[in-house]
Amino acid sequence: MILSRVRKSVDHSRPVSFPERGRGKVWIDIHDLIDLRHQAELMQRFTPRLLSSRSGSYQSHRRGRGMEFDEVRPYSAGDDVRSIDWRVTARSGKVHTKLYREERERAVLLAVDLQQSMHFATRGVFKSVLAAQLAALMAWHALKQGDRLGGMVFSDDEHLEVRPQSGRAAVLSFLFQIANHGSWQRRDNVDHTADGMSDLLMRLRRVARPGSQVTLISDFFDLKESDFHHLRELARHSDLRFISIYDRLEAKLPDPGNYMMTDGHKWLNFNTESRQVREQYHERFVDRRSMLFEICQRYGISLTEATTADDPLELLQKPWTIRKG
């Protein structure tokens, strides 16, 4: 169930706040995302300068650019034998070697989760809104840095993809895909058997070239152990980053009492009087969070955590944490 409002029923506990349309955002439009270009101008480079056992020390802020094929020429003494082009060698009868040049532009890929669980908050803005704002800031920043921007916007039943390209048009195309994604309007008849995260990771593996910067913005609710091999392969060749978004109600149930929740169509009553229920609820959150930390540590993925009440610009100004593997 999507929780679009949380209110306290009549009892002696204090009410739970919620971002209604007048006090917080539950959806986003293209103008909101375009306007964030002004805030993006205030951003500094946010690539971390830390150590991990996977990558060694960072030599520059613009880490891990890939190598593009340049040309084939006759082999010269001192050339790396691993670069020999055996097809041309066999065809010509003379040894030839491949030459490469460093890519001038890094590919920046942003994956934005708009699955059902992301359309929720009890304070601040919906997780989906914060994810869209963060993606927009990073997209405008990529344009400023001269990088090629691409991305994916995915929900329970729809995946949209923008291939990495340079220029303002690429940014606007990506932001348009976010703002016009069907999940902002669609609440019912969602395929709950869909495997959104697994599908996304498989698509990212096909698109991400070596040296790409890949950022996944999600609550990671549907990340499963069977997805770990995709993360391992992505992290092996790319600068992989997670932004994990959660609402405080997902971490801890409110004070003991009787609460009403609605998605705008149906109402649900739940009671938090039981101490055991509250403790088990919090333990499930801790377990899911610990799993995410362990994954980041295992594969050297950089991670930042965000709550729905956080400011997106301030979040991106903070140092990223690289879990040492």
Structural domains for the chain: 5-58+104-322 (3.40.50.410), 69-102 (no CATH)
Distance CA 10, CA 27 (A): 29
Of 218, 212, 203, 217, the C-alpha closest to 236 is: 212
Of 191, 181, 126, the C-alpha closest to 156 is: 191
Distance CA 44, CA 282 (A): 36
> Would you say the pTM of this structure is higher than 0.85?
no
CB 213 within 8 A of CB 301: no
Helix (H, G, I), strand (E, B) or coil at 76: coil
Digitized pLDDT (tens) for each residue of the chain, 325 residues in all: 434 334 433 343 333 334 443 346 788 999 999 999 999 988 865 544 343 434 433 333 334 445 556 678 888 777 777 888 888 889 889 898 887 655 557 899 999 999 999 999 888 999 999 999 999 999 999 999 899 999 999 998 888 999 999 999 999 999 999 999 988 886 555 555 567 899 999 999 999 988 899 999 999 999 999 999 999 999 998 999 999 999 999 999 988 988 887 766 778 888 889 999 999 999 999 999 999 999 999 999 999 999 999 999 999 987 766 544 4
Q: Which two tokens stand for residue 216?
A: 């996944």
Question: Which residues are CB-contacts of 289 (< 8 A; sequence separation ≥ 6)?
Answer: 244
